[in-house]
Each structure stands twice: as structure tokens, then as C-alpha cells.
Amino acid sequence: MPLPPMTEDDLRDEGFDDATKSAVCDAFNESWLLMQAWGDPFANVKRYPTVRALLARRIINAARMGERDVTRLSSEGLRYIRTEFAQQWPKDNS
């Protein structure tokens, strides 16, 4: 069952303008879909609640620092997950 995408309503308490909300949502959704398409072990059923929350937080923090480009926001989120958590979790699908 696919998970719901991030929506601008999810960011209502962040204080972002509409363009920033849109960029954050697009970046998050793009990142998550890429992780699933790649068969990324961090996007598996056991890990997805934690990984999705961390991915969202990293993208939101990058937007708070002024980044607005969807591709760079997405790349930052993916980079963070892959570098910060690759050592903590084995590269299997458990």
C-alpha cells in the first residue's frame, strides 16, 4: 500500500510561504519515490516511518536555511539518509 505524499497542509506550522511549501513537498515526494524505485533498503516496511520522518526533517531544515530548489532539497535529503544511516543499519531489507 503506497504511503500518502507530503502535502502543503503538513507544513502549516512551519511558517513557510506557499512557494517554499510546494518546493519542500515536491522534494520530499521525489526523494521518497526515488528511494522506493531504487529498492533502497532504507525505504522498506520496517524502517519507513523513521526514515520518512528523518528525510522530511532534513529537507525542511534545508529549506529553513534558504534552499528552495527542489532538486537540491531532494538531493540533500537523500544524501543525509545514505551517509548518516548507512553505518547504523545493515544494507539488507530488514
Cα gap 45→24, rounded to integer Å: 23
Question: pLDDT per residue over 22-38, tens digit each?
Answer: 999 999 999 998 988 88
Segment 51-79 mean pLDDT: 93
Residue 92: name the closest of 30, 43, 21 by CA. 43
The packing angle between helices 48-64 and 70-85, to 10°, is 130
Cα gap 29→56, rounded to integer Å: 9
Give the residue with greater pLDDT, 75 vs 94: 75
What does the mean pLDDT of the chain come to? 83
Q: For a pLDDT cut of 70, what percent of the chain falls above it?
A: 86
